[in-house]
Every structure is written in C-alpha cells, then in structure tokens.
Amino acid sequence: MMPIWTKSGEKHAVTLLKVQDCHVLRYVSKEESGGKTAKLLVGGKNVSPFSKPESAHEIFKEAGVPRKQKVTTFNVTDDAIIKPGTPLYAAHFRPGQFVDVTAKTVGKGFQGVVKRWGFKGQPASHGQTKTHRRPGAISTNKAAKVYRGKKMPGKMGNIYRTSFGLKVWRINTKHDIIYVNGSVPGHTNCLVKVRDSKLPTYKDCNKNPPFPTFFADGDEELPEDLFDEEIFQFTDPSVTFA
Amino acid sequence: RVSSDGKPPKFQPPPKPVIIDRRTQKEERRFLSPEFIPPRGRTDPLKYYIERKDMIQRRKVFNIPEFYVGHVLAVTTADPHASDKSKRFVGICIQRGGKGLGATFVLRNVIEDQGVEICYELYSPRIQAIEVLKLEKRLDENLMYLRDALPEYSTFDVNMKPVPRMDHEDIPVNKLQVRMKPKPWSKRWERPKYNIKGIKFELPEHKMKAAQKWSQPWLEFDMLREYDTSKIEEKIRKELSEELEK
C-alpha cells in the first residue's frame, strides 16, 4: 500500500495489484453453462506443472498456456468474447474507472466469539467465575432449540470477500500494475480477482474503455504510466492555492 | 659524527613523506535518507523499486536537504485557509519515521509557552520549501523526551537566521545533556529500552538501579533480529546517484 496525493493536496491510501501472466483459457457459451450470459475462464500466475496429474492440464494445453495457479470465471456478454490463449494486461483497465476486488481474506484459524462476531463478553472482575469471553446464552426457553446459523466460535477468515466500488488511480503498463483506492481483502502477494464494478452509481463510469480488452499488438503505443486527472504527478512543482 | 673508516658517512636518503589523501577518505561518508531502506518483510522488491522511482522523481523537482534528528528546520507549506496561502513553521526535528513515500518527520517548538509538534510528510506536494537552519546531531535518534524536558530546550526563535556551515563534512554532534521536569513523565525515559544518552538524570541512585531491572541484555546478541543493510544501501546509493545525475 502506498500514499497518493491529489492536485488539491489530499492524501489517499492506494493498494498495488500486479497482473501476472493472465491468459484467457476457455469460452463457455450460455447454453453450455446454463447461466444467463456466456462465461470466459481466465487463469493467472504461472506455476510448475509437475504437482498436478496430466488430466488437470487439459484446459491449459488446449489454450497453449503453462499451468496457472488459479482459474476463475467471468460472466461476459456476447460482444466481449475473447479467443482462448490471449494474454490479458493491466491496460485493460483505465484510470478513473471503478472496480470490485475479490480475494480470500487472511485466515485467522479457530477463533472465539468475541473476535469472530464482535460479542462483548463479560466483565473482567466483580465476581465473574471463569467467564470473560464466552457467548453467554445461546437461545430462549420457549424456542427449545438452537437456531441454524447461531453465531458461535469457529474457523474465521480464509473465505472469499469483495470490496466494492474502488477507484483506479493509476496504471503502470510496463510492469502491469493497477493502483486501486483503499484496502483490498487478503494478505500481501495473494491472488485477487478484479472486475468492473457492479454498483449502480458507477454504471456509466467507463468512458471508452479498451473493448473487449487491451491487445498488445503494437498498434496502440501507451505511455508507461497512465494517471487519473486528479492525481498530483511528481513531475509537477509543489501545490499552491491561488 | 665519527665515521668508521675516515670516509664521509653513507648517504641516508630523507624519509619518504606519508601522503594521506583526505579526498578519498572523505567520500566514504555519504548520506542515504533512511526512508529509502526497505523494511524487512516478504513484500515483492518490485514495489519498493517503483516507490523509489516516484521518490526520485519528486526529489528532482523539489530539493529535500540532508538532515538528521536534532537539526532545526523551517518548513513552508501551502494552506488554503491562511491569508498568504502559505504557512512557515520552525522547529527541531525530534523523530523521522515511515518508509517509502509515506516518510514523515516531526518538528517541535515552544511558541508563547505552548509546546507545538507538527508531523510533516517528506513527499507531500503541499510542502513548498524545507530549509535547514542549524545543523547538529544529538546523542539519540529519537528526541521525544524533549516533551518532558524544561521548555527552554525546545524553544527556537521563529525568525532565526540560518547558521552558516563551516566544512562540507562532519556534522557536529551536540553532547548536550538535557534537564527534565519533575516526574511523572510521559514515558519512563530512565529505562534501558529507550537507551537515552542525552538526559541528565537527577534521580536517586536506587531508582536508576531499579530501572535496570527491565534491561534485556540478550537482545543485542539475538541473531534473528539482525538486519544487515550495508549491501542494500550500496545498491540504492548507486541507483540514486545514477538517477539524480540524469
């Protein structure tokens, strides 16, 4: 995470996400998958092929791509279908866009009810016998049972969670890095899924994005760094208020 | 001198002069700002490389002078609410923290009997000028104990003129021992974990001995805590000097 300053001098915290060897692996049509839209399977981050059996390598061999650590699905409209085997780059996103980021949260292991669900526990003194962080009562007398989904101790973290509506401040095309506003679930160097935001406020936010994706054919020459309009770039002199 | 054979004594050439080239010795000491050194961790070094590029970019446009804890600095920042749209604050640097772009330094001064500490970010675009008024290092890296010292040690004249520097080497170390206000202090500065050398403790002997109970003499031998930064520093210095010459 890094600080970033706007032209008016305000500071925002920003998370760096690296797009590492992402390729489109397979196209699944609407009828095949049984959903409402077609799907594209995308894999990220190359990994050694020797730790999995040959049967697991079929998808990667069809696309002509080394084995990937994680394969995810993206729901795609028919006009945004991409041929399997195309690499995906950070320039697929543009600064000023809004984005949802999904990842597995940091695993905390088996945790008690105070940390996991935020229960208040019991007082430290005034006669409490061996009861300081326990849940207390779990149901009423009339119910005569414990309801399903009752908040109790258990394994906490290591589940998929999404942060919605994060602004993209800056994109580095040379190293394929996306600078995303705020914090993102997961530990450092964990795998993360970045999608266009589904929030209704940001529905019309994308002004001329690269559609269906940014192909590095050599037609478009993008500068090494793409900045949002409001960012203070370090090549400018210090901020002054008129 | 009496010669052995009656001949003149054997010619003794004069001793060769020993030339100490002070220039090469002086170049060994070069300053690397502490926020460039990456902390120990499992982050990708690419992240620190990109941050350093941004820091170098900012340093090319805006001059951040070399300063240590104990220097007296004057900082001018842009402020939308001030009449002149800029504010000037003079103070002694008591702490330098943070790594990378978020590096900060805290300046302390006593203005009209009120102690004021302001934490500035080195790379914030609001800072318009940093001037070093007085160069002197102190005995410690962290001067937070000035909060519990007598106010005369933290007062600096707001309209102080910059003290001219004698040589371009050897920042002088001020071995000042500061006198404290009566206890209670904000932190127990006599304890060995703070390792403060710049206070003149006027506490009774038994209290100083009791404070040594909290000493942890095994810490300096703990090998897992070692972080040797010499090689990393060399690489970063080379990178910096190459980039700043462009």
Q: How confident is the model at residue B19 (pLDDT cuts 50, 70, 90)?
A: confident
Q: Which residues contact B157 (CB under 8 A, 6 or more apart)?
A: B90
**pLDDT higher at A115 or A206:** A115
B126 burial type by CB count under 10 A (0-12 exposed, 13-18 middle, 19+ buried): buried
**Cβ pair B100:A2 closer than 8 A:** yes
Task: Name the E strands within chain A.
Answer: 2-5, 11-18, 22-28, 38-46, 68-76, 87-88, 98-104, 109-111, 154-156, 160-172, 177-181, 192-196, 225-227
**pLDDT higher at B167 or A185:** A185
**Cβ pair B121:A11 closer than 8 A:** yes
A65 burial type by CB count under 10 A (0-12 exposed, 13-18 middle, 19+ buried): buried
Q: With respect to CATH, is domain A19-87 assigned 3.30.1550.10?
A: no
Looking at residue B244, its pLDDT comes to 85
Looking at residue B5, its pLDDT comes to 67
Looking at residue A238, its pLDDT comes to 86
Q: For A133-151, write each residue's pLDDT tens digit.
A: 999 999 999 999 999 999 9
- Mean predicted lDDT score pLDDT of chain A: 91
Q: How confident is the model at residue B2 (pLDDT cuts 50, 70, 90)?
A: low
Task: Could you please state the CATH topology (level 3) that the domain comprising A1-18+92-104+158-241 is classified under.
Answer: Elongation Factor Tu (Ef-tu); domain 3 (2.40.30)
B104 burial type by CB count under 10 A (0-12 exposed, 13-18 middle, 19+ buried): middle
User: Scanning every residue of chain A, which has its alpha carbon at the shortest distance from the alpha carbon of B80?
Assistant: A241
Option in B44, B51, B125 nearest A5 (CB): B125
Distance from CA of B78 to the nearest CA of A (A): 6
Q: Spell out the domain ranges in chain B.
A: 45-174
Looking at residue B27, its pLDDT comes to 58
Distance from CA of A6 to the nearest CA of B (A): 9
pLDDT at A1 over 80: yes
What's the one-letter identity of residue B98?
A: G
Is any Cβ of chain B less than 8 angstroms from the Cβ of A106?
no
User: Scanning every residue of chain A, which has its alpha carbon at the shortest distance from the alpha carbon of B42?
Assistant: A188
Kindly list the residues of chain B whose beta carbon comes within 8 Å of any beta carbon in chain A.
41-44, 46-47, 50-51, 54, 57-58, 61-62, 78-80, 85-86, 100-102, 121, 123-128
Tell me what the mean pLDDT of segment B207-213 comes to: 93
Is any Cβ of chain B less than 8 angstroms from the Cβ of A16?
yes
3-state secondary structure of A25: strand
What dihedral do alpha carbons A119, A124, A127, A132 form, nearest 10°?
40
Q: How confident is the model at residue B107 (pLDDT cuts 50, 70, 90)?
A: very high
CB < 8 Å to A3, chain B: 101-102, 121, 123
A238, A240, A241: which to substitute to probe chain B, counting the most B Cβ within 10 Å?
A: A238
Q: How confident is the model at residue B74 (pLDDT cuts 50, 70, 90)?
A: very high
What sign for the dihedral angle of Cα A43, A47, A53, A58? positive
CB < 8 Å to B45, chain A: none
Q: For B41-65, write each residue's pLDDT tens digit.
A: 899 999 999 999 999 999 999 889 8
Residue found under tokens 């003194």: A125
CB < 8 Å to A238, chain B: 61-62, 78, 125-128
Residue found under tokens 């945004």: A80
Q: With respect to CATH, is domain B45-174 assigned 2.30.30.790?
A: yes
**ipTM given for this complex:** 0.88
The Cα A107–Cα B215 span in angstroms is 36
**Cβ pair B43:A11 closer than 8 A:** no
Q: Which residues contact B124 (CB under 8 A, 6 or more apart)?
A: A5, A9, A11, B77
The Cα A77–Cα A80 span in angstroms is 6
DSSP string for chain B: ---SSSSPPPP-PPPPP----HHHHHHT-----GGGSPPSSSS-HHHHHHHHHHHHHHHHHS------TT-EEEEEEE-TTSTTSEEEEEEEEEEEE--GGG-EEEEEEEETTEEEEEEEETT-TTEEEEEEEE--EES-S--GGGGGB-GGGT---TTPPPPPPS-SS-PPEE---BPBPSSPPSS-TTSTTT---SB---S-HHHHHHHGGG--TTGGG-GGG----HHHHHHHHHHHHHHHH-
∠ CA B94-B95-B97, rounded to 5°: 165
> How much is the pTM?
0.85
Q: How confident is the model at residue B29 (pLDDT cuts 50, 70, 90)?
A: low
Q: For A211-232, write each residue's pLDDT tens digit.
A: 788 888 877 788 889 999 999 9
**pLDDT higher at B166 or B66:** B66
Write out the two tokens for A237. Answer: 């002199």
Write out the two tokens for A48. Answer: 């050694």
The Cα B177–Cα B206 span in angstroms is 21
Return the number of CB contacts < 8 Å for A and B.
62
The Cα B123–Cα B55 span in angstroms is 7
Residue found under tokens 């005569």: A144
CB < 8 Å to B35, chain A: none
Tell me what the mean pLDDT of segment B71-100 comes to: 89
Residue A59 host element (H or E)? helix A58-63
**Is B218 within 8 Å of B192 (Cβ atoms)?**
no
Is any Cβ of chain B less than 8 angstroms from the Cβ of A174?
no
Distances, alpha carbon A162 to alpha carbons A115, A169, B26, B181, in Å? 20, 19, 55, 53
**Cβ pair B125:A242 closer than 8 A:** no
Q: Spell out the domain ranges in chain A.
A: 1-18+92-104+158-241, 19-87, 107-123+130-155
pLDDT at B26 over 60: no
Share of chain A above pLDDT 90, in %: 68
pLDDT at B136 over 80: yes
Looking at residue B20, its pLDDT comes to 75
The Cα B95–Cα B104 span in angstroms is 8
Question: How many other C-beta atoms are found inside a 10 Å radius of the C-beta of residue B182?
Answer: 7
**Cβ pair A236:B44 closer than 8 A:** no
CB < 8 Å to B50, chain A: 16, 172, 175, 177
